[in-house]
A = this chain, B = another copy of it.
Amino acid sequence: MTTVHLIEYEDANDEVRAVYDDIRATRNTDFINNFWKALAINPQQLRRTWESAKAVMAPGALDPMTKELIYIAVSVANACEYCIHSHTAAARAKGMTDAQYGELLAVIGMAHHTNGLVATLQVEVDEIFKVRS
């Protein structure tokens, strides 16, 4: 159960409504998901988070679907059920195929596996990997 009451559009103040309006316009849908309605208890935090999300997840040097795959990977490692469901849905909406999902799954599993092995063995970083961009 959410720790706060969700704030619906009709109960929102002007600052919150402005964000909701922008979410709707940007996504071309009237639907506002629970995350934003919960976050609205702190309108400044709502606005900052939405503006960052909009900028960060927009097409750029990485395509939007790839960004969703990265988002899922982080959310899995942080055991965030809501985030896993919402970004898996978003990845599918952005074109993720079943084959791509199957490979995402395998890479996430592999990464967790070797993260665990490396931490157990406390492997030291090879000099050759210490390259900088």
Contact = CB atoms under 8 A, between A and B. Distances in A.
Interface of A: 1-5, 31, 33-35, 38-39, 41-42, 44-45, 48-49, 51-53, 55-57, 60-62, 66-67, 69-89, 92, 97-126, 128-133
Contact of A116 (B112, B121, B130): B112
A36 B111 CA distance: 15
Contact of A5 (B88, B89, B133): B133
A120 to B, nearest CB: 5
Nearest to A60: B103
A2 B118 CA distance: 9
B5 A132 contact: yes
Q: Is the interface of A mostly helix, strand, loop or mixed?
A: helix
B123 A82 contact: yes
Contacts of A109: 45, 49, 56, 113-114, 116-117, 120
A88 to B, nearest CB: 5
